[in-house]
Amino acid sequence: MRKKVSFTVSDIKKHKQSLLQWGQQFHEVVWLDSNEYRDSYTSFDGLLAVDALTLLQTDAEHAFYDLKEYQSETKDWIFGYLSYDLKNDIENLDSLNFDGLEFPELYFFQPKKIIKIQGNKVIFDYLNMVADEIEADFNIIFKSDFQYTKVMNATKDIRIKLRIFKDEYFGKVEQMLAHIRRGDIYEANFCQEFYAEETQIDVVNTYTTLNAISKTPFATFLKINDKYLLSASPERYLKKQGNTLISQPIKGTAKRSQDPIRDAELIAQLENDEKERAENIMIVDLVRNDLSKSALKGSVTVPELCKVYSFEQVHQMISTVVAMVDVTKNPVDIIRQTFPMGSMTGAPKVSAMKIIERLESFKRGLYSGAVGYFTPDGDFDFNVVIRSILYNAAKKYVSFSVGSAITAKAMPEKEYEECLLKAKAMREVLEGF
């Protein structure tokens, strides 16, 4: 069904850019970039999927059933996303808040063309119907000086607006704290939207700039016709590799410093921050519980708890939760039993999602959902859509959202500062510093 051809190339960073630019000719594009990040679970340096042969687009109703059927029947690579609002297919919930972006709630496609970068190797994995284009595509991308046409009418002076203002944010956090004191929940992720209307952006240049200042391991460029995701996500939601599941939730954020001594102090402060550690451990417990629904009994472990990793913009506290599953377990069922990810909801999960829906002022949509892929043999890997710019080109609407975990010890002022820290990279990229 597919033909694979491998080439050796040099100057891989330059060619990543050419590859992304070349992909813009297609209606469906997913580009995943690990930014040279390496750990035990890294599968590639870069992966591009373009040009749908088949696709699935749907709202939340029966979405996981439809995805399960599509994945099982296709028996091929499929790439796409799960929006946060698929929660409504899993639980008796709804999403009634304002939606300025209007992305489909689930979208997956079977690409005709997949190009993977691994070290200095480039592997073309094409459906047989387009396999005769491999050599020509390789020459265009990797041997010619491929030129991308810049968007000439991009908005020069982008004005970012807040969906809610500071005082309203404080009031909503206080309401969430009241729920915590009553025992309704003990943690919830509360998010807010920043947006710009009547705005046009150069999507490739915007993504490239965001990625250059962030360099995160789960960076993503997604294009679905006139809708775009430009993501500098540092977080893995869930990966299946054989009969192993890996989840790496993030809770705990600290700013960086250009002074190495001060930067080391900030790492130490985050490592020893009781509130941040408590947030992380709460979500680890939630993830362990979610994975146990699919896992073999007694197989859920936490090989790494509250470890601090440093990225270009921030330090992050990350834990790793691992579980084993039966080889016959359906991959879509695994995702359904763990979605949405605990780091973006709270605990107990359903109660937290109900309160989130009532207090937040926007429909999350793809934000705090997941982008990734299924392999032909039923493995998968998905990120968490955070630190991301979302863009509806037809509506000229640009949006980015940020949030923080609210626990009993949360102080509204500090939570607001954390949100501004997380928003910094996206705002700088859009406003041109």
Q: Which residues does the annotation mark as catalytic? A: 235, 251
Alpha carbon distance 339, 354 (integer Å): 15
SS3 at position 208: helix
Closest CA to 342 of 424, 214, 236: 236
Alpha carbon distance 61, 344 (integer Å): 21
Closest CA to 249 of 312, 190, 309, 193: 309
CA 219 to mean position of chain CA atoms: 8
Cβ neighbour number for residue 203 with a 10 Å cutoff: 21
Four-point Cα dihedral 207, 212, 213, 214, nearest 10:
80
Contact by Cβ (8 Å): 394, 201: no
SS3 at position 373: strand
Token look-up 């102090």 returns 265
Backbone angles phi, psi at 324, to 5 degrees: -110, 140
Alpha carbon distance 19, 137 (integer Å): 10
Looking at residue 46, its amino acid is G
Contact by Cβ (8 Å): 97, 38: no
